[in-house]
């Protein structure tokens, strides 16, 4: 298997793991908690069942079909950026996290018209595993480009 094919396969596997984990946890939360119910976990961390029609962390609520189209466009952009240099060190992790998180929330939007959130940390809006994966993927991608720029590498 070529290095490029390996990178695509690893990104796909990671994305699938993120989607599966995200959907499994959401199903468990939906079946275990009533909307608004709060279960204290540790310190400021608690679980609560919340729904939002917006993007990550409840932003841009009520965007509906437009948000689905934006998500599809974002997935295309992730694929494009990744395709420019899939062998770049760590890029498969960033792409897998981003794609998996976006797909996890897209599934919610298509099936229920809103996203299930459940992680509650104090005054921050509730969020979910898909949101964490998206955030981690963006941060990782930025760090990869910063690292490569500092090393004098090509930006792809």
Catalytic residue among 131, 148, 154, 155: 131
Is 117 a catalytic site residue?
yes
Nearest to 78 by CA among 90, 59, 92, 67: 92
Nearest to 50 by CA among 103, 139, 117, 96: 117
Nearest to 98 by CA among 115, 81, 119: 81
Q: Say if residues 64 and 138 touch (Cβ distance below 8 Å).
A: no
Catalytic residue among 108, 117, 120, 148: 117
- Supply 156's token pair: 């792809």
Q: Where are the beta strands (DSSP E) in the chain?
A: 38-42, 45-52, 115-121
Is 22 a catalytic site residue?
no
- Supply 98's token pair: 């981003």
From residue 100, alpha-carbon distances to 14, 67, 80, 81 in Å are 7, 17, 15, 15
Indicate which residues carry an active-site annotation.
Answer: 117, 131
């Amino acid at each position: 298997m070529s290095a490029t094919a390996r990178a695509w396969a690893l990104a796909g596997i990671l994305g699938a793991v993120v989607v599966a984990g995200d959907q499994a946890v959401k199903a468990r939360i939906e079946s275990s908690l009533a909307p608004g119910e709060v279960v204290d976990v540790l310190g400021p961390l608690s679980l609560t069942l919340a729904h939002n029609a917006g993007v990550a962390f409840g932003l841009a609520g009520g965007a509906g079909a437009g948000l689905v189209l934006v998500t599809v466009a974002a997935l295309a952009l992730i694929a494009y950026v990744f395709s420019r240099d899939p062998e770049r060190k760590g890029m498969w992790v960033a792409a897998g996290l981003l794609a998996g998180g976006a797909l996890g929330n897209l599934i919610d939007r298509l099936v229920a018209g809103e996203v299930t959130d459940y992680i509650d940390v104090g005054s921050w809006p509730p969020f979910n595993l898909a949101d964490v994966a998206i955030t981690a993927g963006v941060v990782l991608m930025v760090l990869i480009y910063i690292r490569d720029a500092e090393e004098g590498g090509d930006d792809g």
